[in-house]
Structure 1
Amino acid sequence: MTLPQLAVDLTPAQAVEALESVLLAGLDPEEGPPRSNLAVPAGELLLMPAATAAYAGVKIAGVAPANPARGLPRVTGSYLLLDGPTLQPVALLDGIALTSLRTPAVTAVALRRLAVPEAAHLVLFGAGPQAYGHLDALLAVRPLTRLTVVARRAAPAAALVGYARALGLDAAAGTPEAVSGADLVVCCTTARTPLFDGRAVPDHAAVAAVGSHEPVAREVDGVLVARSALYVEARSAALREAGDLMIALRERSIAESARLANLSELVNGGAVVPTDRPRFFKGVGMAWQDLAVAAAQYERSGLYTVRSNVPSST
């Protein structure tokens, strides 16, 4: 059987809705299976399975650090979606396009609740595909008016600035010190050490870091982590993979008893959101997110037939 290849063309708002819907319906992110990592000669293979009554799915992703020098993407991947009751494959999706949509959508789910109502200035670290995705996703949930791009190379930063200006934003390239005037800070880079001084972030700001799922890499420093109210997709995943938090724990910037509110608690109103200190969201990416967005994409396709006896959503 030849499986249909589904285009990943949900809007950021639709992806946000898909994620929020499964959390509001009772999905517990703490029960998500861990990511499998396998070192291979070219880099790393990642395997991310998830299942609900309605669907199952698995993403296979590769991280090949030498690919950019070959003119190829650093990250590769495919997503296989299956019917939940029968486990029959129903569709293939581009795993990288899916990740490029769902990762910013997860951040948007968090920051729409962590940002102060008047938040308008976004400082965005990075100028790759995730930076574009995060800008689009945050514009879907927040009334942004200003963007500062902080990137290692001038040309990609200028391209993202031009993209933002075409969307009507007051946009410019800047330096890490721009966080001192930020309402929102988003880090989506391959950095392994902190990108800015955590003391400079205003108390009213919300910060998200999504660039790494490695315990030894981080984009923010222990100062910011110690100052902030802390939010994660799932405590179980964060304590396995979130270097931004794990390094802060090892440095004793925060105690093991530090409160980490998860995304379900945030969406369902069970998490406290103070405004007298920064709010920091750390995302590592989880398989349930891929499944939720892939299922929503499938249900909007012409291939999907509503079942009478099986829930149609994740």
Structure 2
Amino acid sequence: MPFLDSDAVHAALPMRDAVRALQQALRDGLSPEADPPRGVLPVDNGQLLLMPAHGRAYAGVKVATVAPGNPARGLPRIQGRYLLLCAETLTPLATLDGIALTDIRTAAVSAAAADLLAPRDASRLVLFGGGPQARSHLRALHAVRPITRVTVVGRTPDRARTLARGLPDISGVRVDTGGPEAVASADLVACCTTATTPLFDGDLLPPHATVVAVGSHEPGAREVDTRTVLRSTVVVEAVSAATREAGDIVQVIREGLLDPAALVPLADLARGAALPVDGRPRLFKSVGMAWEDLVLAGAAYEAGRARPVRGNR
């Protein structure tokens, strides 16, 4: 059975192709609401996650781990493997590196949403975070918008400079550092952190700004404040998942300030059944869902069959 390692997964899924695959799956009728809830088992040093999904051609399951102490050990915070199956026979077809798949799909979903929400000329990105997801989000958002300037925000100026040095060198993109107030001049804001409290003042957001927040899937954690949510058109992968897992959304609903019916499913946006409201910021809150892993695992498998890729063995 083929195993696609990290290099093979990245080779099979260029970011533009990953974004298109996700958008096309939604346009073809895939229903994110059909995803079962994520299985989460707390353990002494983190969490074990189980994320199954099924579709017309493939079924699959990702087994992942979240170990908050790993970065201090020089290890990834999130690790795992993906098992891809034939939907008709449930025969195993391939396994894929779960780190690479998660890295790509999280940023690709954000870019798929930003491509439907952000002005076509959006060029100024404010980036909170400096880990693998921050790097992937820079690549992904650059794939769908003409980004020329990136402001990296960290907990301290020294931290921000360290984070900025870790970003990929992309031709024509100027990277500098700043504070949370930089969102006041942003076209795009990407929140890719492990923060549990809001990163910036939502009143500072320009009316045209698009925010993507991907840092957590826990109802007690949030990266954006209540003002950001209330001022924005709020787009989510699935209403059921957002109201169960997205602290940025759950906490505002619990405050009695947001009606879940106001949330816009990403599928509706992709199919043209919903549009953002002019003159308001746009917020895409992602928790990461199993259907995204399945779509991209299938695409990677098909690309690997079409041409030899390193690790396809």
CA contact (8 A) 2:126 2:188 kept: yes
Moved more, 295-304 or 29-38: 295-304
1:101 maps to 2:107:
no
CA distance in structure 1 between the partners assigned to 2:110 and 2:126 by the alignment? 14
Structure 1 distance, partners of 2:160, 2:210, is 26
Q: What is the one-letter code of the residue matched to 1:133?
A: S
* Pair 1:240-2:238 in alignment: no
Which amino acid letter does the alignment assign opposite residue 26 of structure 1? G
Partner of 2:213: 209
- SS across alignment from 2:203: helix
Which amino acid in 1 is paired with 2:171? L
> Within 2, Cα distance between the matches of 1:14 and 1:134?
15
Structure 2 unmatched ranges of 5 or more: 308-313
Q: CA RMSD in A?
A: 1.4
Return the match for 2:179 from 175, 181, 185.
175
Q: Deviations over 1:110-165 (max 9, x none)?
A: 0011112221101011111101101111111111111111123245323145x34x
How far residue 172 of structure 1 moved from its aligned partner, in angstroms, is 0.5
User: Equivalents in 1 of 2:260, 2:66: separation in Å?
Assistant: 34
Amino acid at match of 2:297: A
Contact 2:127/2:150 (CA < 8 Å) preserved in 1? yes
2:164 to 158, 166, 172: 158
Matching residue of 1:264: 267
**Partner Cα separation in structure 1 for residue 25 and residue 160 of structure 2:** 40
Give the corresponding residue for 1:5: 3
3-state SS, counterpart of residue 293 of structure 1: helix
Q: Which residue number corresponds to residue 81 of structure 2?
A: 78
Secondary structure of residue in 2 paired with 1:288: helix
Secondary structure at 2:305 match in 1: coil
- Alignment-derived partner of residue 188 in structure 1: 192
Checking the alignment, whether the CA contact within 8 Å between 1:227 and 1:278 is kept in structure 2 is yes
Displacement, 1:302? 2.5
Q: Indicate if the aligned counterparts of 2:243 and 2:260 stay in contact, CA closer than 8 A.
A: no
The whole-number CA distance in structure 1 between the counterparts of 2:75 and 2:228 is: 35
1:227 aligns with 2:231: yes
Count of residue correspondences: 299
1:199-241 Cα offsets, whole Å, 9 max, x none, are: 1111111111010000000000001111111100000100100
SS at match of 2:301: helix
Kindly indicate whether residue 138 of structure 2 is the aligned counterpart of residue 135 of structure 1.
yes
Q: Is the 8 A contact 1:128 1:156 kept in 2?
A: no
Residue correspondence of structure 1 range 111-122 to structure 2 within 5 A? 111-122=114-125
User: Which string of whole-angstrom CA distances, capped at 9 and with x for unpartnered residues, describes residues 4-51 of structure 1?
Assistant: 211212100111111112111101111111100001122110000001
Contact kept in structure 2, 1:115 and 1:183, CA below 8 Å: yes
> 2:35·2:289 contact (CA, 8 Å) conserved in 1?
yes
**1:265 deviation in Å?**
0.4
- Letter paired with 1:91: A
The answer (yes or no) to whether the contact 1:60–1:78 under 8 Å persists in 2 is yes
How far apart, in 2, do the equivalents of 1:8 and 1:257 lie? 36
1:44 corresponding residue in structure 2 = 47
Residue 70 (structure 1) shift: 2.2
- Determine the C-alpha separation between the residues in 2 that align with 1:303 and 1:92: 17
2:9 partner letter: V
1:58 partner letter = V
Q: Which amino acid letter does the alignment assign opposite residue 35 of structure 2?
A: G
Q: What is the alpha-carbon distance in structure 1 between the residues aligned to residue 215 and residue 139 of structure 2?
A: 17
| SS of 2:304 mapped into structure 1 | coil
8 Å contact kept, 2:152–2:160: no
Cα distance in 1 for residues equivalent to 2:67 and 2:191: 21
What residue number does 1:307 align with?
Answer: none
Runs of 4+ in 1 over 6 A off after TM superposition: none
| Counterpart residue number, 1:311 | none
Amino acid at match of 2:73: R
Shift of 1:258: 4.8
